[in-house]
Amino acid sequence: MKKTNRFLAIVALSGLFLFCDQFLKWYARTQPAKHFSFLHGYLGWQYFENPGIAFSLPFPQGILLIGTPILLLLLFVYWNKHAKKQGLLFSLALGFIIFGALSNYIDRVLFSFTTDYFLFFTAVINVADIMISLGALLLILEHRSENKKVEKAT
Residues annotated as catalytic (active site), given as ranges: 116, 129
Neighbours of 56 (CB within 10 A): 15
**152: number of CA atoms within 13 Å, CB side?**
6
Return the bridge partners of 124, or none.
119
Q: What is the DSSP string of 62-95?
A: HHHHHHHHHHHHHHHHHHHHHTTTS-HHHHHHHH
Burial of 119 (0-12, 13-18, 19+ CB in 10 A): buried
Burial of 71 (0-12, 13-18, 19+ CB in 10 A): middle
CA dist 10 and 92 (Å) reads 6
